[in-house]
Amino acid sequence: MALSEPWIEHFIVGPLQMRCSVVTDRQSGDTIIIDGGDEPRRIIDWIDGFQGPGPNWTTGPENAAAAGEQNLPERTVVALVNTHAHFDHSGFIPELQAHYQVDWYLHPDDDFLQTLAQASGRRYGLTLPEPAVADHAFKSGETYAFGSIELKILHTPGHTLGGCCLLLSVSDGPDHVFVGDTLFAGSVGRTDIANSGGDFDLLAHSIHTQLWPLDEATVVHPGHGPLTTIGHERRTNPFVGDSAGAGGTYGFGKYA
């Protein structure tokens, strides 16, 4: 079931300024955390009681007083889900799991990458907990119900082997898609990161076949940088937009 007016908050966390998105069903209070990569205390304090610095770059309130005015029900975190397993997105899943005692969902093609999270974080001077192991394996094209929140999983390899975009259908507004590092406003994810299986042609193919068919008003929530929409990126993105690679280099023709 499509949600009515979902409540979405963004926490820009860690040294790589990664977007962790928190989605709440205003009717039930059911809540999911997408990409719990860093600053778990900040996320927990806000979800559980609107304490601490809270979210930023949000469609919701900038402070606790504003949040209170929204009459949100008490929130229950029902699942942790990830777009992919780079450490900036998954490094602190164990702390969120320990607090909320809920399952974590990841595409299995990123399971190996996930085992490297600690070592990757060390290169940025981060001390990460022992990497989490996913409780459930996402299957592409399937819709998963997390309490009253449903996400359709779109497998979009190219930045990592198991990268996925998570589509949230909305009944009374634009849909939302959480794309991790597959697509950015005016850019795309890197394809040169060690042990990730990055491949630009594959990434472009994933975007063309999985994202461009979405409604053009769909709000895109990238893992880094500002929000955008499917329509805007399709028209203007210099790497994968409709005018990119004129002559067929990166166009649909290559994969037809």
Interface ranges with Zn ion (CB under 5 A): 86, 88, 181, 223
Q: How far is the CB of 26 from Zn ion (least distance, A)?
A: 28
Return the number of the residue (88 or 109) whose C-beta is nearest Zn ion: 88
Give min distance, CB of 88 to Zn ion, in A. 5
Smallest distance, Zn ion to C-beta of residue 116, A: 12
Residue 30 or 181: which CB sits closer to Zn ion?
181
Q: How far apart are the C-alpha atoms of 79 and 93, rounded to whole Å?
A: 11
Enter the DSSP assignment of 170. Answer: B
Instruction: Kindly tell me which of 82 and 169 has the beta carbon lying closer to Zn ion.
Output: 82
> Token pair of 123, please?
């290169």
What is the three-class DSSP state of 3? strand
Strand ranges (DSSP E) for the chain? 7-13, 18-24, 30-34, 76-81, 104-106, 136-137, 143-146, 149-155, 164-168, 176-180, 183-184, 187-188, 219-222, 228-229
CA distances from 248 to 63, 155, 186, 239 (A): 48, 24, 20, 13
CB of 196 vs Zn ion, minimal distance in Å: 7
12 beta partners = 19
Cα–Cα distance measured from residue 66 to residue 71, given in angstroms and rounded to the nearest whole number = 10
Nearest residue to Zn ion, by Cβ distance, number only: 86
* 193/244 with CB nearer Zn ion: 193
Q: Which is nearer to Zn ion, 54 or 223 (CB)?
A: 223
**What's the token pair of residue 148?**
């009253």
Rounded least distance, CB 190 to Zn ion, Å: 7
Closest to Zn ion by CB, 226 vs 253, is 226
- Distance between CA atoms of residues 173 and 139, nearest Å: 26
Nearer to Zn ion, 117 or 153 (CB): 117
- Taking the complex as a whole, the smallest distance from the CB of residue 131 to Zn ion amounts, in Å, to 15
Residue 120 CB, nearest approach to Zn ion (Å): 10
Q: Could you tell me if 105 and 166 are in contact, meaning their C-beta atoms sit under 8 angstroms apart?
A: no
